[in-house]
Amino acid sequence: MALTQPVAQPGAPDLELPENVVVSRLDELANWCRKNSLWPMPFATACCGIELMATGAAKHDLARFGAEVFRFSPRQCDLMIVAGRVVMKMLPVLQRIWQQMHEPKWCISMGACASTGGVFDTYAVVQGIDRFIPVDMYVPGCPPRPEQLIQAIIDLQDKIQREGTITGREFNTQQRQLRKRALVELPLPLSIDAARNPNIQRELAGAARPQD
């Protein structure tokens, strides 16, 4: 808890607080509310999704950390949990859903596949979602146990406590809002124009490494 007890100032009159009253900064209070009422967006595409469900179920009980309200509409969520591999056909969907979520929002990349592609180093599988959307926490494992996911959520809560203010203005910059409000159609991804595409150039440079 970030709520702070008043510090006695030397020479100041003794401030006697009534019972059940604490003093804090408004920014910290706002962050405390945000971090303890995360609404996850379950983007579960593979076996990590099973562990994600187990995390939300009675035994591991994500409700202890205020994040049990899974919603299947991105408009109602502020924490995207990408659980499982994302293939190239799914990535535009993932990006669209991420853009449809309201600020403030965070993203957890759960498991080896979402974070790096895992063992699926093939033409169809994106080698880590952080190449295309921002990620706040990575959870290692194949799949990670619920305890690991809970740890990631606790760590994310610490991060949320440290950023943000009561006005939320930092989540509301012109640049951040511009594209989301317009919801511009993402350009068709697959013009195979290798010479002009830095992603393809990077991929080709990486593919040159020796295969064993």
Partner 1 sequence: MTNASDTSTDTLPISPHVAAVEQACGPLEHSVYRGQQRVVVPAEKLLETLALLKDRGFDLLVDVSCVDYLEYRGAAHRYGLIYLLASTATNERLTVRAFVDDPEPTVASVVPLWKAANWLEREVWDMFGIRFTGHPDLRRLVMPEAFTAHPLRKDYPLQGRGERHNFPVITRDHS
Binding site for partner 1 (CB under 8 A): 88-89, 91-92, 95, 98-99, 105, 121-127, 131-134, 173, 175-176, 178-180, 186-192, 194, 197, 199-204, 207
CB of residue 32 vs partner 1: minimum separation in angstroms?
22
What's the full length of the chain, in residues? 212
Which two structure tokens, joined as six digits, stand for 207? Answer: 């593919």
- Minimal distance, residue 167 CB to partner 1, in Å: 18
Cβ closest to partner 1, residue 65 vs residue 132: 132
Where are the alpha helices (H) located in 10-110, listed in sequence order?
Answer: 26-35, 48-56, 91-100
Q: What is the dihedral of CA 129, 131, 137, 139, to 10 degrees?
A: 50
By beta-carbon proximity to partner 1, the closer residue of 59 and 209 is 209
Q: What is the largest CA-CA distance in the chain?
A: 75
| Terminal-to-terminal C-alpha distance of the chain | 51
Whole-number minimum distance, CB 147 to partner 1, in Å? 28
Looking at residue 51, its amino acid is E
191 DSSP assignment = -
Our CB check for partner 1 shows the closer of 31 and 127 to be: 127
Residue with smaller CB distance to partner 1, 145 or 180: 180
Rounded least distance, CB 127 to partner 1, Å: 7
